[in-house]
Structure 1
Amino acid sequence: MMNILIVSNNDACRSRMAMEILTSFGRGMKVFTAGVLPGNGIPDTVFSVMEQNGYHLSHKKPVDVELYCHQPWDYVVTLCREAEESRKDFDNVVRNWKHFLYNDPFQAYYNDEDLVEQQVAEVYDLMHRQLYEFYRDELSEQLLPRCRCGANTYCRCE
């Protein structure tokens, strides 16, 4: 089982979306989320965009990244500059780092809820595409079952 931590600035939007997207690609991963400055909860707009795309987010309270800094991780995936800066807080227990840069759709204040939802949807689309490429190029081969010879399931040695 591969342990993956996804870190954003407040663990209320981008990290939650990334967790759902990444786990939808396949099995063999335990995915956790955390925030550098954890927020109070997940905005309704995030729930709405994810439901429109076939996902159901949990109502788990945002978690501080400090909780996870001393645990071993196969991957820590950071989603913003603030999260990337938290790298120094981790012990030497992270095997791989991956950084993506996604804009915070809630950074600017909009009076129009439709504009906010559009921003969240744009981040979702970009995130889905890039996380799929990450899964396909870096994770999927590691998650495949192995033959006794060390090859993946496509081995013909038997």
Structure 2
Amino acid sequence: MKNILIVSNSDTCRSRMAQEILNSFGRGMKISTAGVLVGNSVPDVVCQVMEQNGYDFSRRKPCDVATYTQQTWDYVITLCPEAEEVQKEMQGVVRKYVSFNFADPFRGGIHADDEQEERVVALYNAMHKELYEFFRSELMEKLLPRCSCGANTYCRCE
């Protein structure tokens, strides 16, 4: 089981989306999310876009990264430059840091509903593509069960 912490600005959009996307790729991961700043609530448009893509999206309360600084993590994934400051706070408890730079769809203030949805859809598409590449290159082999000969799940030696 790989322990993964996903950190964004406020734990209301990008981190939640990334958690659901990564969970959809396979088992063997325990994924938590947090924000450098604690947000208020998950915007409705984020829930709608995720539900349109087949995810059962949670509206649980956003969490502060300080909640997780004393735990050991296999990966801490930051989704924006602002979130990279957690590396200072979590020295010694993280095996590997991975950084992405996904644009905040809410930056620049309130937008028309259609424009806001387009921004969240574009974010979802970009995140799905990049997180899948990360999963394929970094996690998939490590999460596959091994048979007694050391091969992966597709082994036919038994």
AA of the residue aligned to 2:92: N
Q: 1:148: how far off?
A: 2.6
Report the RMSD for the aligned CA atoms in angstroms: 1.2
Q: Distance in 1 between matches of 2:28 and 2:40?
A: 30
Cα 1:156/1:56, change in 2 over 3 Å: closer
Cα 1:149/1:93, change in 2 over 3 Å: farther
Which residue of structure 2 aligns with residue 105 of structure 1?
105
Q: 1:68: how far off?
A: 0.6
Which residue of structure 1 aligns with residue 9 of structure 2?
9
SS state at 1:31 partner:
strand
Relative to the length of structure 1, the TM-score reads 0.95
Q: Which runs of 4+ in 1 moved over 3 A?
A: 154-158
- Number of equivalent positions: 158
1:91-136 residue CA offsets vs partner (Å, 9 max, x unmatched): 3121111110001001112341111111111110000000011111
Q: 1:70: how far off?
A: 1.1
Gaps of 5+ in 1: none
- Residue 117 of structure 1 pairs with residue 117 of structure 2: yes
Q: 1:157: how far off?
A: 5.0
Q: Distance in 1 between matches of 2:7 and 2:77?
A: 6
Map 1:50-129 onto structure 2 (within 5 A).
50-129=50-129
AA of the residue aligned to 2:36: V
Relative to the length of structure 2, the TM-score reads 0.95
